[in-house]
A and B are shown apart, each in its own frame.
Chain A
């Protein structure tokens, strides 16, 4: 079965700084990869997804992620973080009638 690891439980960045959230997956075939964001007490919203094609995918709110097969990674990036980006971020891997989420990374944005 597939699995997802998000190594960073909590990250703090200053507003305007760049951001990278790490995601590593384990899956035997080409995975379906997702990043979701969750504001406190809310459901999850899709930021972006990768199914095939260009390995650099653009999402909403200025986020992007790059699929690196050789590293089994799908890291999320944003060049300049805004205070409204403070939330919890989940990486997920799907395929083979299964979907696995990482434990999440909580992002705090300092003014």
Chain B
């Protein structure tokens, strides 16, 4: 069966510090991978998605970036965090193209920027 892991589970970082969140998927190959941010009362915002190694699509211009160094690894990064980057970050995967298939979500990372 497929599983999706995210770490860390929680993170408290000062403004201006770097960020690296990691997501890995097991039990499947060539998944489509997604990063979402969830702010309180605002639902989920799609940040990035990837259909393959090195292929990243950005949905929202911001100071975050994503990379996919391996087939089942997806990393969310920032060089300098802002207060507005606080939120709950969710990684997800699907078998086929975004919007046409079930997405399976990881447990999330709670990021607080102080």
Residues of A within 8 A of B (CB): 9, 32, 34, 36, 41-46, 49, 51, 90, 92, 94-104
A55 to chain B, nearest CB (A): 18
B99 touches A90 (CB 8 A): no
Q: Which of A9, A97, A102 contacts B99, CB < 8 Å? A: A97
Pairs across A and B, CB under 8 Å, 9 listed:
A34-B102, A36-B105, A42-B107, A43-B92, A44-B90, A49-B102, A97-B98, A99-B98, A99-B99
Residue B43 lies at the interface, judged by CB distance under 8 Å to chain A: yes
Contacts of A32 in B (CB 8 A): 99-101
Q: Which of B44, B100, B107 contacts A90, CB < 8 Å? A: B44
Residue B31 lies at the interface, judged by CB distance under 8 Å to chain A: no
Residue of B nearest to A96 (CB): B99
Contacts of B100 in A (CB 8 A): 32, 51, 94-95
Q: Which of B90, B99, B105 contacts A94, CB < 8 Å? A: B99
Contacts of A46 in B (CB 8 A): 102-104
A49 to B41, CA, bound (A): 23
Contacts of B99 in A (CB 8 A): 32, 94-99
Q: Which of B42, B98, B105 contacts A44, CB < 8 Å? A: B105
